[in-house]
Amino acid sequence: MKKILISLLFLLLATDALAAYVAVLETMADGDAKDSVSLLNRQYLTNVLREQAVKELPAKYGFTIMTRENIIAMLPPGKAIEDCEGSCLAETGKNISADYVCQARVGVFGSKLTLSAELYETAGNKLIASFNGRGANVEELLLLIESKSMAFFHEIKEMNVQKTTILLENTNENVQIDPVSSMNDKDSSRVGESIPANVSDEPAKKTGIAGKVVLGIGAAATVTGVVLAIVGNSKAKNAAETKLFANEDEYNDAKDRAKSGQTLRGIGIGIAIAGAVGVGVSYAF
């Protein structure tokens, strides 16, 4: 049962806990920088920043880097991608069903151009990474992005690995089996084998009826949680990949489907973890 549980949780981690949608919004320009750095140049800086995200967060590890078309499709009707800026950055990330959202901004300081980039976790409106730099021209800003963005996006990978580690540690703690109770008669009676003084030579404790009930419920909850998480993730993904909307009603419908899918994914993960805890507890009966 323990091996089955671990396999299910690894499936959950592979399909959901490590799955993340990352949105790289258009690079903005403040003040005089609007005249110094053209829209086309800013779009190119955005493209390079997005390319760096793809390199650091490959799809094979469950990351999806949203394209410009994906982002535009998920924006409310009448809102342009260039309007996504400032304090509403994390909220914009939620509106387009992104787990992480980042944006670079070009400005002017003295005689040089500046570039600042921020990366947010949308669920908690949390700033998790940023970098700043200056350059004499747009080419130097490009070099700045290429030199700093890999470490910038690596923070997302670190956060997801940390989440996975916590889940696995909790799982391992909760499904540990007493070495005495897991010892079978054959192992405990091997000729010439010494048994540590603190280990009882009494027959292995068999799981009682109550333990079996808890074990069954825990296993069922784990399987149910994994299924719900996978279904929720698929639902959110399909909604996020919806093409341009004909009207506001279609947009709101896709947004609701994306949010409900993300909610279902979270509930599924919670149920799966609770099930794992139940399986671990069952060994105490």
pLDDT digits (tens, 9 = 90+) for 31-90: 889 889 999 999 999 999 999 999 999 988 889 999 888 888 777 777 776 666 655 777
- Answer yes or no: is 208 within a domain: no
Residue 114 has pLDDT above 90, yes or no: yes
- Whether residue 150 lies inside any domain: the answer is yes
Q: Structurally, how many domains does the chain consist of? A: 1
Residue 138 lies in a domain: yes
- Rounded to an integer, what distance in angstroms lies between the CA atom of residue 43 and that of residue 276? 47
How much is the pLDDT for 261?
Answer: 75
pLDDT level of residue 281 (50, 70, 90 thresholds): low
Domain assignment of residue 72, yes or no: yes
Provide the whole-model pTM. Answer: 0.61
Q: pLDDT exceeding 90 applies to what percent of the chain? A: 30
Would 184 be classed as within a structural domain?
no
Kindly state the average pLDDT of the residues 14-21.
61
pLDDT of residue 164: 58
In a domain, residue 71? The reply is yes
Whether the per-residue pLDDT at 226 is higher than 70: the answer is: yes
What average pLDDT does the structure give for the chain?
75
Residues 4-15, mean pLDDT to the nearest whole number: 53
Residue 10's pLDDT is 54
Determine, yes or no, domain membership for 219: no
CB-side neighbour CA atoms (13 Å) of 135? 17
Position 179 scores a pLDDT of 42
For 121-160, how does the pLDDT look when each residue is reduced to its tens digit (9 = 90+)? 988 888 999 999 999 999 999 999 999 999 999 999 888 7
Q: Residue 97 is part of which domain span?
A: 20-158
pLDDT, tens digit, 9 for 90 and up, residues 93-107: 887 888 999 999 999
pLDDT range class, residue 195, cuts 50, 70, 90: very low
Could you tell me if residue 28 is inside a domain? yes
CATH code, domain with 152: 3.40.50.10070
The residue-averaged pLDDT of 232-253 equals 66
